[in-house]
Structure 1
Amino acid sequence: MTGIRSARPFTGRHMAAILVTFFGVVITVNVMMARLATSTFGGVVVENSYVASQKFNGWLDEARQERALGWHAGIARQADGALSVVLTDAAGHPIGDATVTATAEHPLGLRGDVALTLPAHGAGHYGAALPEGRWRIKLVARRGGQTWRSVGEVG
């Protein structure tokens, strides 16, 4: 003989092996993606989507009123690790005598929220102690019946 092998016939076992391999890969990838998705997302965006939908137009009105104020917040972390906020109005003047509170949220929801009250440390300067790490800061400033909100990040 000259070394030529005869081709083996394609059988049901071959087809079964192909199908099992194909679906095994698909299922493995799906399980991996589902585990990654559930391990990195904290969960709830709103508690009740129907109630949130009923409040949506009110939230838009509040946002327009806040934008009309023209306030700005400089949110940063000081050298000692404390949270520092500088509030200014539309003309760039410091906003004093405001009541400033904040909620520090971990970006991935791995740590609990930290509620902060930021006392004034001078004209337009507010600050409070903040644990180490990266935080999303939801700031609320109130002065003379006006409420203004801002979101920033510190790391």
Structure 2
Amino acid sequence: METEIPASGRPLTGRRVAVYLLAFFGVVMGVNAFMMTLAIETLPGTVVDSAYRASLAYNHEIAAAQAQATRAWTVAAHVERSSDSRASVRVEARDAKDVPVSGLTVTAWLARPTDRRERPVEIAERGIGVYRGEAADVSSGQWDLVIEAARGGDRVYLSRNRVVLP
């Protein structure tokens, strides 16, 4: 009885099959290790450090939102992006009687919807009830504009708005 020899001229042995299996699984594990490394290095972080502490602050956030609603302020924001990747933000605040709201400490930041890293916007009052600021290194695309206003250390206004910058 004769043993058939494959077209390559070498017989398929147990050692050859073992080498093929080890090479296959070595490539699979190498690619997995590479992809895990990329995923871990590009992970921007967690949304909250402690879900327990965030849940304790939830009732405070509900009360702050209700107080904000009773004030019935109108806050208009406008964002423009220049060709040098700078974004200018203009915020105008008016109370329920349409009177400009002055004397607020306004902070704002731009954040990608899929990323927690933020671009701070340095805001200053430039007129009665008009606040302006700029942020550097803002690329085109979708952003969340978060505006926070405080008076006397207490937050009196908070909003998060999706904007698309060209």
**TM-score, with length taken from structure 1:** 0.63
Q: Which moved more, 1:35-44 or 1:69-78?
A: 69-78
Distance, in Å, in 1 between the alignment partners of 2:73 and 2:32 is: 47
The structure-2 alpha-carbon separation of the partners of 1:114 and 1:32, relative to structure 1 and needing over 3 Å to count, comes to same
Deviations 1:56-104 (A, max 9, x none): 343244345445646443230365853222346689x574325142243
Q: How does 1:41-80 map to 2 (within 5 A)?
A: 41-66=43-68, 69=72, 71-77=74-80
Runs of 5+ unmatched residues, structure 2: none
Two-structure CA RMSD over aligned residues (Å) = 3.9
Q: How many residues align?
A: 148
Runs of 5+ unmatched residues, structure 1: none
The structure-2 alpha-carbon separation of the partners of 1:89 and 1:96, relative to structure 1 and needing over 3 Å to count, comes to closer
Pick the structure with more strand per residue. Answer: 2
Deviations 1:24-77 (A, max 9, x none): 232223222222222322224223332222223432443454456464432303
Kindly indicate whether the alpha-carbon contact (under 8 Å) linking 2:119 and 2:135 is maintained by their aligned counterparts in 1. no
- Out of 125, 147, 155, the residue aligned to residue 139 of structure 1 is 147
Kindly indicate whether the alpha-carbon contact (under 8 Å) linking 1:137 and 1:154 is maintained by their aligned counterparts in 2. no
Distance, in Å, in 2 between the alignment partners of 1:81 and 1:105 is: 9
Aligned position for 1:150: 159
**TM-score, with length taken from structure 2:** 0.60
Q: Secondary structure at the match of 1:37?
A: helix
CA apart distance, 1:113: 5.6
Kindly indicate whether the alpha-carbon contact (under 8 Å) linking 2:106 and 2:131 is maintained by their aligned counterparts in 1. no
Q: Which moved more, 1:40-49 or 1:133-142?
A: 133-142
CA apart distance, 1:142: 3.9
